[in-house]
Amino acid sequence: MHSFELFLPTRLVYGSDSIEKLPAAAAGCGKKVLIAYGGGSVKKTGLLDRVKKALADFEIVEFAGIEPNPRVTSVNAAAKLCREQNVNFVVAVGGGSVMDAAKAICAGARYEGDAWDLVRDSSLIKSALPLFTVLTNAATGSEYDAAGVITNLETNEKLPIVSPLLFPVASFCDPAVSVSVPAWHTAAGAADIMSHTFEQYLVMEGNDVSDGFCETILKTVIKNTPICIKDPANIEARAAMMLASSFGCCGLLAIGNTPSPWPCHGIEHEISAWHDITHGAGLAIITPHWMRYSLNEKTAPRFAKYAVNVWGMDASLDEMTLANAAIDKTAEFFASIGIPMHLRDVGVDESHFEAMADHIPTCWWPLSGALHPIDKAGVIEILKASL
Amino acid sequence: MHSFELFLPTRLVYGSDSIEKLPAAAAGCGKKVLIAYGGGSVKKTGLLDRVKKALADFEIVEFAGIEPNPRVTSVNAAAKLCREQNVNFVVAVGGGSVMDAAKAICAGARYEGDAWDLVRDSSLIKSALPLFTVLTNAATGSEYDAAGVITNLETNEKLPIVSPLLFPVASFCDPAVSVSVPAWHTAAGAADIMSHTFEQYLVMEGNDVSDGFCETILKTVIKNTPICIKDPANIEARAAMMLASSFGCCGLLAIGNTPSPWPCHGIEHEISAWHDITHGAGLAIITPHWMRYSLNEKTAPRFAKYAVNVWGMDASLDEMTLANAAIDKTAEFFASIGIPMHLRDVGVDESHFEAMADHIPTCWWPLSGALHPIDKAGVIEILKASL
């Protein structure tokens, strides 16, 4: 077992009554709140009104229009608004993009310069506004971690911002809110949850507890995603997906495991930075190709374990057969929930592959530490196979 | 899915190098530390010296002799010592009893009266010294929760003390420390972990995530306990057991489930209060009898799920057959790891059964909320069956 630290100070509040608990949780933070959200969906569904009603005793400032792959320009604008308006705390209402942006806004509100500085060097984050989140979509797990991912279209970079100061104080998760999430975002969210799990599970060494937790998340998503797509109002399936999402990124799935550099996320962020594609779709497209790149005699036992414990395959088969079958099943699953199988299907061509592969080592954990080490040629090989 | 809140502010630090991280974690708490421990085992193994060495830059006060089923007399003595010596924080070095007592000591140090008041009425806990734990044994999960259980021999009561102020700031878990735990305590600890899980898993409604997490813990303990008993120095097995213990009591296993009154713990605390037996052994003895009491057509699906997913039984069998087989397997497992099968084997007779059954409703969650409701006659039925 590898050494690890698990630190999860966010209060996770689940249930149909969760949002109504927000004002009590925010008591003591001050009177002025910035509510941050994305497009119009939280208006259409009535969620924004519900949150504003819950916060009726506070002075509300709104910031709308946070993009998917949220941009540092929006972060800077919202952070400036917080400073000008003397905002005391932030409530993010949305999915991963809104929560991620809100983390950067909370840090940026306490920093006079460009928030991109804080993305580039998290040691500059000395303070942050308290953050609360109201979750709309099962996907990134940002409701229960201390990280966000911010895009800079000027530099073609999509990079994480990470600091223990960015844990939400509390996250409010009502699975019923997610019934309005359309099939595409449901599927992309599912792929994101599965990718988070693969990044932590498909490493050289796991253990009985972390492996069982990872397999639980994978089986939950594989079972419930098709239900959510076919029957969007199925609350039990939506609830299972939301729970799975909350534990995907918080470190619980990696306890004691070989540390992972999260290779698929490192590669996908490059693709999104250049092409602004849906993160989960990008992950789903490259994941099977990363798996095939990583499969060899040394790594086959991990894939075989995945085959037996997640896909229920026959443990008496040889490991390489199991491993290949599980990778095929993974690709088939992503296709079955409506995700394109090729990068070209989402508008990506190979023109920036070299630049992407060159950029990863400047901003990401070394991919030499992946299940099977990945060098620059390896990144390009995975990207080309995904094309 | 039922509403829930999960709040886990303790920093969980695992690894062979974990104890050396204690001084940095305690920096800022003050200079004077009370190190609390039990009998001589932490002296014999050298663990106490290792902790004292790590804390060499602090002023150390020691409090030894905390009992199994820790007594409020010890808590009061240690709390008084903290007040007299102006202790700034407490480090518990031991298993569940020492950690539980230390929680009460931390609260008692900030309270002038009898610490039993705080057990009886947790709303009196307004403040507590910061607590750090150094874990020796996989069992109670006290390293990652906000509760302790304290015994009062004068009143024949064994009751929980619970407050969010009692979460350890950080818990340091080196699985190698547990290789010296003898077979009896290894087995009793395993029974405790399994009971924690049953209390949360065997309820009317679970979900894919919580059920998978519970099944992971149960399978981990069933697999690794015999290994630890046969090969006490097997670090991987010890590590898996320690991890399983840490997640047993923190709420993670119950997320979204029907709330449980933890019936076996309610009953076992009565037995321990009168007879001072090993908690895990008491739990292992009564658990199969509680299961048989609880099994009926309505509850059979939960037991059948346990049979299939934990014991690998044939899902095509009928639910009642599966349920009975799983209960038998549970009892056989406890016997196989060396735990007596009857209360009389650990010195318990039926003389106090009435008093025990009468006392539970005065100090515990209503057992009417258990998987199958338990009234006074039910408590006595379970106790007599366990005799």
What separation in angstroms does the CA of B385 have from each of A381, B379, B380? 66, 10, 8
**Model confidence over B86-120: pLDDT tens digits?**
999 999 999 999 999 999 999 999 999 999 999 99
Could you give the count of Cα atoms lying within 13 Å of A160 in the half-sphere of its Cβ? 20
> Last residue of some domain: B156, B177, B198?
B177
**Contacts with B243 from chain A: Cβ below 8 Å:** 1, 207-210, 255-256
Tokens of A140: 């990134």
**Same domain flag for A34 and A140:** yes
**Model confidence over A334-381: pLDDT tens digits?**
999 999 999 999 999 999 999 999 999 999 999 999 999 999 999 999
Across chain B, what does the average pLDDT equal? 97
Residue A328 counted as domain residue? yes
**Same domain flag for A117 and A170:** yes
* Contact check, Cβ <8 Å, B14/A8: no
Distance between CA A34 and CA B367 in Å, rounded?
45
* Contact check, Cβ <8 Å, A212/B216: yes
Residue B235 counted as domain residue? yes
**Same domain flag for B227 and B367:** yes
Residue B5 counted as domain residue? no
- Phi and psi of A169, rounded to 5°? -65, -45
**Same domain flag for A220 and A101:** no
Q: Is A175 on the interface with B (CB under 8 A)?
A: yes
Residue B254, number of CB atoms within 10 A of its CB = 25
* Contact check, Cβ <8 Å, A216/B235: no
Distance between CA B216 and CA B201 in Å, rounded?
11
Distance between CA B293 and CA A339 in Å, rounded?
49
Distance between CA B196 and CA B252 in Å, rounded?
11
**Facing B224 at nearest CB: one of A5, A208, A216:** A208
**Contacts with B236 from chain A: Cβ below 8 Å:** 1, 207
- Say if residues B195 and B283 touch (Cβ distance below 8 Å): yes
SS in 3 state form for chain B? CCCEEEEEEEEEEECCCCHHHHHHHHCCCCCEEEEECCCCHHHHCCHHHHHHHHCCCCEEEEECCCCCCCEHHHHHHHHHHHHHHCCCEEEEEECHHHHHHHHHHHHHCCCCCCHHHHHHCHHHCCCCCCEEEEECCCCCCHHHCCEEEEEECCCCEEEEEECHHHCCCEEEECHHHHHHCCHHHHHHHHHHHHHHHHHHHCCCCCCHHHHHHHHHHHHHHHHHHHHHHHCCCCHHHHHHHHHHHHCCCCCHHHCCCCCCCCHHHHHHHHHHHHHCCCHHHHHHHHHHHHHHHHCCCCCHHHHHHHHHHHHCCCCCCCHHHHHHHHHHHHHHHHHHCCCCCCHHHHCCCHHHHHHHHHHHHHHCCCHHHCCCCCCHHHHHHHHHHHC
Q: Is A9 on the interface with B (CB under 8 A)?
A: yes
Residue B47 identity (one-letter amino acid): L
Residue B108 counted as domain residue? yes
For residue A1, what pLDDT is reported? 94
Residue B312 counted as domain residue? yes
Give the pairing of strands B131-135 and B89-94: parallel
Residue B306 counted as domain residue? yes
Q: How confident is the model at residue B40 (pLDDT cuts 50, 70, 90)?
A: confident
Q: Which helix (H) or strand (E) holds A11?
A: strand A4-14
Distance between CA A279 and CA A248 in Å, rounded?
15
**Same domain flag for B202 and B155:** no
Nearest to A63 by CA among A90, A88, A45: A90
**Same domain flag for B38 and B80:** yes
A338 phi-psi bin (left φ>0, alpha ψ -120 to 50, beta other): left
**Same domain flag for A160 and A227:** no
Residue A3 counted as domain residue? no
Handedness of CA B177, B181, B187, B189 (dihedral sign): negative
Tokens of A161: 């911002």
Q: Find the closest chain B residue to A16 by CA distance.
A: B3
> Got the DSSP string for A111-162?
-SS-HHHHHH-GGG------EEEEE-SSSS-GGGSSEEEEEETTTTEEEEEE
Buried b (16+ CB within 10 A) or exposed e, A240-251: bbbbbbbbbbbb
Give the pairing of strands A147-152 and A4-14: unpaired
Residue B115 identity (one-letter amino acid): A
Distance between CA B242 and CA A143 in Å, rounded?
27
Distance between CA A284 and CA A272 in Å, rounded?
13
The total domain count for chain B is 2
Distance between CA A185 and CA A171 in Å, rounded?
20
Residue A296, number of CB atoms within 10 A of its CB = 12
Nearest to B263 by CA among B199, B326, B211, B323: B199
Nearest to A175 by CA among A224, A209, A226, A131: A224
At a CB cut-off of 8 Å and minimum separation 6, what does A281 contact? Answer: A187, A188, A191, A339, A340, A346
Residue B56 identity (one-letter amino acid): A
* Contact check, Cβ <8 Å, A255/B243: yes
> Last residue of some domain: A155, A177, A199?
A177
For residue B368, what pLDDT is reported? 97
Percent of chain B with pLDDT over 90: 99
CA angle B54/B58/B63 to nearest 5° reads 85
**Same domain flag for B96 and B231:** no
**Same domain flag for A172 and A192:** no
For residue B295, what pLDDT is reported? 98
| Least Cα separation, residue A235 to chain B (angstroms) | 8
Q: Which residues pair with A62 in a beta bridge?
A: A35
**Contacts with B15 from chain A: Cβ below 8 Å:** 1-4
**Model confidence over B301-330: pLDDT tens digits?**
999 999 999 999 999 999 999 999 999 999
- Return per-residue pLDDT of chain A as tens, 387 residues: 999 999 999 999 999 999 999 999 999 999 999 999 998 899 999 999 999 999 999 999 999 999 999 999 999 999 999 999 999 999 999 999 999 999 999 999 999 999 999 999 999 999 999 999 999 999 999 999 999 999 999 999 999 999 999 999 999 999 999 999 999 999 999 999 999 999 999 999 999 999 999 999 999 999 999 999 999 999 999 999 999 999 999 999 999 999 999 999 999 999 999 999 999 999 999 999 999 999 999 999 999 999 999 999 999 999 999 999 999 999 999 999 999 999 999 999 999 999 999 999 999 999 999 999 999 999 999 999 999
ipTM above 0.90, yes or no: yes
Domain that holds residue B164: 11-177
* Contact check, Cβ <8 Å, A3/B18: yes
* Contact check, Cβ <8 Å, A13/B1: no
Residue A55, number of CB atoms within 10 A of its CB = 18
| Least Cα separation, residue A4 to chain B (angstroms) | 5
At a CB cut-off of 8 Å and minimum separation 6, what does A249 contact? Answer: A140, A141, A142, A144, A145, A147, A196
Tokens of B268: 């076992």
> How far from the centroid of its chain's Cα atoms is residue B175's Cα?
17
* Contact check, Cβ <8 Å, A11/B16: no
3-state SS of chain A: helix, strand, coil percent to 5?
Answer: 55, 15, 30
- Phi and psi of A50, rounded to 5°? -65, -40
Q: Find the closest chain A residue to B239 by CA distance.
A: A1
- Chain B neighbours among A 201-260 (CB < 8 Å)? 207-210, 212-213, 215-217, 219-220, 223-224, 235-236, 239-240, 243-244, 247, 252, 255-256
Using a 10 angstrom Cβ sphere, with 0-12 exposed, 13-18 middle and 19 or more buried, the burial of residue B123 is exposed
**Same domain flag for A277 and A337:** yes
Residue A6 counted as domain residue? no
**Same domain flag for A140 and A199:** no
CATH code for the domain of A240? 1.20.1090.10
* Contact check, Cβ <8 Å, A207/B236: yes
Residue A67, number of CB atoms within 10 A of its CB = 16
> Last residue of some domain: A109, A144, A177?
A177
Q: Is A12 on the interface with B (CB under 8 A)?
A: yes
- Say if residues B305 and B312 touch (Cβ distance below 8 Å): no
| Least Cα separation, residue A306 to chain B (angstroms) | 15
Helices (H), A233-314: 235-246, 263-275, 279-294, 300-311
For residue B182, what pLDDT is reported? 96
Q: Is A18 on the interface with B (CB under 8 A)?
A: yes
**Same domain flag for B129 and B231:** no
